[in-house]
Structure 1
Amino acid sequence: MASLGKTLLSIITPKKAGKSGGQGYTGTFSPQQSQNILTAPTYQEHLTDIFSSRQADDSRTLMVALFENDPDVSAAVSAYLTMANTTMITLVRDLDGEIDAEATKSLLQRLKFMTVPTDYTLGFQMKQNMEQWCEEIRYMVLLRGGAAVELIMDKKMVPSDLRNIDLNSIEWFEKTPGDYKPRQKVSGVQGGINLDIPTFFVAFYRQNPTKIYSNSPFVSTINTIAARQQVINDLYRIMQYTGYPRLEVTVVEEVLRKNMPANIRMDEAKQTEWINLRMSEIRNSIQDIRADTAFVHMDSIEPGIMNEKSPGAGIDISKVIETLNAQNQAGLKTMATVIGRGASGVNTGSVEARIAAMNADELNAPVSAILSNVFSFMLHQDGYQGFAEVSFARGEMRPELELEPQLTMRAARLKADLSLGLISDLEYHLQMYHRLPPAGAPTLSGTGFGETPSAGSRADEISPNDDPLGRALAPEGSKMAKSNQVSA
């Protein structure tokens, strides 16, 4: 039965190697303009008003802008990426589930060659290290609700890089129930690019199981952000009109009529036209005047200041803003403390920080899924019968020195289990140091190195009355063992 199980669980390698240079396109590549300079952004996105742009753009386009320009969204994204950036643990297990140390070291060596330039004849190479790979996947998970990458092969058909593919450009086909096939939409390429290839990998984050197309987990903030933007725009207008002191100019009509030309006084229509012209002249001459500029006028004008005693607007907008902020925080799936709005005390802040760290840990699940599949493919390409396993250390917001007592207690517990043979040396090093044992490390599992030496007596032969005062513990020849009632 064991041989039959291994036969059924054998891994089938790809029929052909992947395409050199990859098959999918990045979001910045255009096949029609491959020789031209990439268009630089105008950096004017901060002027976009989401209240009006949300009517024209879809949610995916809006989320790209909000990730960069909205303070709450960008703060939540930054907090997620910071807390989720923990130590990555990469292992290789055989089909029996046992850790293969030699295969793990070989895989880590191959990954190192993928993340640093090794062929300097190619000129500039934008190689990314493992942390940058993981951060890029996390960013796309927050932006699109999932991530897609393609394993890139070089001319020697050796894995050389990972390429990020925007899920926004992926179309899905379902020819049979549950069997989805991807195709990438590319401008200028009729029919798109077929990504039904073994080097293309996708993972979703809390995906709706009834849909294949994903959304950003922050998409629920769009309406709240738009409402808040509208309130802020109205508040700006209120402050401009009623909130600040404004220059007031009164035109004395009696003085104005006395200086009216004689040929105009006899015609009522001309009088009105003449007065309106003089009003326009006065308005044009003072509307751009600054507070520190001298204002010279005749006695037909009486300047003054409006709202000089009570310049504040008579509306309390704080409750509206607080309500919108609370809804915005809920849509961002984050804590008030994380985005700088915590005001409930130290204990609440600690609980919120802990929940935020747990949410960040969940963000590493699709990263682990994608990288595990990518690294497993690299092993299977070489004919290895096993799997790669990628995991991440749990997020911890306390400083390392504060964690030292807890780490010491964990080390003592794990050493006791190691001494009894309950865990292996590999498990001990992985739990304590998130890595394999170094070369030459002694094998200690099951050696009993932590057991207390036996006293040489049986339990039924020992009585508490044999030495009630504990004199046997005193050094030989010491006076501490003598009683005051016993003579020397």
Structure 2
Amino acid sequence: MAGPLDKLMKVLVPSRVKPKGQAQTNTFSADRKNQVLTAPRYKEHLTDLFTSRQADDSRKLMKELFVQDPDVSAAVNAFLTVADTDPIFTVRDPDGNFDRQGQLELNKIIATLTTRYDYQKGFLMKPSLRAMSEDMRYMLLLRGGIGAELVFDKNQAPTEVRNVDMATVKWYEREPNLFIPEQETEASSDAIPLDIPTFFVSFFRRDPTSIYTYSPFVSSINTVAARQQVINDLYRIMQITGYPRMEATVLEEVLLKNAPTDVQADGQKQREYVDREISRIQSSLSNTSADQALVHTDSVDIKMFNEKSPSNALNIDSIVNALNAMNQAALRSMATILGRGESGVNTASVEARIFSMHAEALNEPVAEMWAKMLTMALRVVAKSESQVHCKFRPVELRPLTELEPMLNLRAARLRQDLSDGIITDDEYHLEMYGRLRPDSAPELSGTGFMNSSPVDTSDVATNDDPMGRSLTPEGGDATKSNAVKSKSAGQ
């Protein structure tokens, strides 16, 4: 008799899925299909964040900081590099058993998403599985969440994973905890309903009290702006007091002796004449470069200002270090990762380990996203009730040559589980090589091939075999020695 859970677990797939998808990218506009996409200005480096942060929202600022700011871009690059590990996909039936046929169907689905088969058309961008996973991680860092639509063709075969910017998604809550998404892009004035079964979302440490997310780096905006303000002030200070400057002293007495007669007789004209000459001399000296000859009369005295001891009154090291520390905390990074590590090798090792754990956490929402999308694809294509599971290999900072002994221990443990029948041959090959068992390989699960046979110690002697004692099983009889007589021989 079927219970309520059996009815709840019954798989219902859509009879038809809209071809070519429904969600839009930020760059698409139905009214400008034949026009070239707007290229970047490539002048973002001229933007002063301290000013622009008052006009733009945090989402737009973070998109610019990912490219402009050295610390933010370094943190993003470090997260994406460290978290770039291989995914492992497994298909299991409702009872949790491995589904080999479903795994074969899944391999075909992944191939259609990442491989081009029709070369009769023009250019077609088919990103690899690694590239799509990296795009998802980038969106997690930029928006705090992933939105993607699994696009099917007219034959109900998955062809594309369309990345949707979560900044363009608006949410409606029609019932408690029942959220309906809708997309609003700048290129289109009409809202696009995303209440479709092929749209999926996954979040990275979202505030449970809100459906909307923030970039995990959004707290760095204030520290980046403060550091920018300090740097701008330092530029101005250095131009005024940090470098030697030319100083011109106008000798008013000599200047007036050479003034016209009508000027010498009128005090008002004398002041106007002096001011006019000072302005003329200042204008001439302002345009003088260091390699030009300077010729002047004895009415002007030229010398260098602060030539030997420029101003060193302000110690900015402590200010910059404090801002760097706040920026490092806001970027969830370590000093070693950002190139500021000064605490020694041991501290650097601990910081690298902690950062690898932070980067590894990015793969959890990505794995969840892949599992949900590929499960639907498997059920639509193969009419299967099995479920796709995805996990990424752990982040490892050590080189492969150093990891080899650890990998051998892991392989031995998996072989023992395979020998005991705890895992299947396909599970062993997926864990070790990321693929199913080849047809040419024998099936070894549960055969006990790793169980060692008991050692016969009756004919083992140390004189004949120096390693005889090491071959004796733990708890067994001691090996015979010619120097030791048995009890029966002594009686």
Q: TM-score, normalised by structure 1?
A: 0.92
Contact 1:149 1:162 survives alignment (8 Å): yes
Give per-residue Cα distances to partners, 1:443-465, cap 9 Å, x unaligned. Answer: 222222222222469xxxx9xxx
| SS of structure 2 residue aligned to 1:211 | coil
Report what 2:488 is aligned to: none
Measured after TM superposition, the shift of residue 335 of structure 1 is 1.0
**CA–CA distance in structure 2, aligned partners of residues 5 and 424 of structure 1:** 29
Report what 2:441 is aligned to: 441
Query: Closer, same or farther in 2 for the Cα pair 1:265/1:323, shift >3 Å?
Result: same
Give per-residue Cα distances to partners, 1:121-155, cap 9 Å, x unaligned. Answer: 22111111111110111101100000101111223
Contact 1:474 1:481 survives alignment (8 Å): no
Letter in 1 for 2:454: S
Measured after TM superposition, the shift of residue 7 of structure 1 is 4.6
**CA–CA distance in structure 2, aligned partners of residues 307 and 474 of structure 1:** 85
Report what 2:477 is aligned to: none
* 1:303-452 → structure 2 map (5 Å cutoff): 303-382=302-381, 383-452=383-452
Contact 1:238 1:313 survives alignment (8 Å): no
**CA–CA distance in structure 1, aligned partners of residues 152 and 422 of structure 2:** 42
Report what 2:66 is aligned to: 67
Letter in 1 for 2:207: N
**CA–CA distance in structure 2, aligned partners of residues 188 and 131 of structure 1:** 29
Contact 2:109 2:377 survives alignment (8 Å): no
**CA–CA distance in structure 1, aligned partners of residues 196 and 37 of structure 2:** 28
Query: Closer, same or farther in 2 for the Cα pair 1:37/1:273, shift >3 Å?
Result: same
Instruction: Show structure 1 runs of 5+ residues with no match.
Output: none
**CA–CA distance in structure 1, aligned partners of residues 301 and 37 of structure 2:** 60
Query: Closer, same or farther in 2 for the Cα pair 1:175/1:4, shift >3 Å?
Result: closer
Give per-residue Cα distances to partners, 1:218-267, cap 9 Å, x unaligned. Answer: 00000000100001111111101000010111111111010111101122
**CA–CA distance in structure 1, aligned partners of residues 359 and 466 of structure 2:** 57
Report what 1:12 is aligned to: 12
Query: Closer, same or farther in 2 for the Cα pair 1:471/1:5, shift >3 Å?
Result: farther
Contact 1:239 1:313 survives alignment (8 Å): no
Report what 1:136 is aligned to: 135
Contact 2:227 2:323 survives alignment (8 Å): yes
Measured after TM superposition, the shift of residue 214 of structure 1 is 0.6
Contact 1:174 1:180 survives alignment (8 Å): yes
**CA–CA distance in structure 1, aligned partners of residues 187 and 414 of structure 2:** 60
Report what 1:208 is aligned to: 207
Query: Closer, same or farther in 2 for the Cα pair 1:295/1:412, shift >3 Å?
Result: same
**CA–CA distance in structure 1, aligned partners of residues 324 and 257 of structure 2:** 59
Measured after TM superposition, the shift of residue 158 of structure 1 is 1.9
Letter in 1 for 2:221: I
Is 48-57 or 435-444 further displaced after alignment?
435-444
Contact 2:429 2:435 survives alignment (8 Å): yes
Report what 2:474 is aligned to: none
* 1:177-188 → structure 2 map (5 Å cutoff): 177-187=176-186
| SS of structure 2 residue aligned to 1:122 | coil
Query: Closer, same or farther in 2 for the Cα pair 1:188/1:428, shift >3 Å?
Result: closer
Is 159-168 or 418-427 further displaced after alignment?
418-427
| SS of structure 2 residue aligned to 1:248 | strand
Identity score, percent: 48
Is 309-318 or 199-208 further displaced after alignment?
309-318
**CA–CA distance in structure 2, aligned partners of residues 31 and 186 of structure 1:** 12
Query: Closer, same or farther in 2 for the Cα pair 1:430/1:275, shift >3 Å?
Result: same
Measured after TM superposition, the shift of residue 23 of structure 1 is 0.8
| SS of structure 1 residue aligned to 2:362 | helix
**CA–CA distance in structure 1, aligned partners of residues 69 and 348 of structure 2:** 24
Report what 1:147 is aligned to: 146
**CA–CA distance in structure 1, aligned partners of residues 483 and 17 of structure 2:** 89
**CA–CA distance in structure 1, aligned partners of residues 226 and 270 of structure 2:** 49
RMSD over aligned CA atoms reads: 2.3
Query: Closer, same or farther in 2 for the Cα pair 1:371/1:484, shift >3 Å?
Result: closer
Report what 2:262 is aligned to: 263
Contact 2:102 2:386 survives alignment (8 Å): no
Query: Closer, same or farther in 2 for the Cα pair 1:119/1:209, shift >3 Å?
Result: same
- The aligned length equals 472
Report what 1:175 is aligned to: 174
Contact 1:18 1:153 survives alignment (8 Å): yes
Q: TM-score, normalised by structure 2?
A: 0.91
Report what 2:84 is aligned to: 85
| SS of structure 2 residue aligned to 1:160 | strand
Report what 2:272 is aligned to: 273
**CA–CA distance in structure 2, aligned partners of residues 99 and 323 of structure 1:** 54
Report what 2:475 is aligned to: none
**CA–CA distance in structure 1, aligned partners of residues 253 and 481 of structure 2:** 121
Letter in 2 for 1:20: P
**CA–CA distance in structure 2, aligned partners of residues 2 and 421 of structure 1:** 32
Measured after TM superposition, the shift of residue 481 of structure 1 is 7.7
**CA–CA distance in structure 2, aligned partners of residues 2 and 447 of structure 1:** 37
Contact 2:87 2:392 survives alignment (8 Å): yes
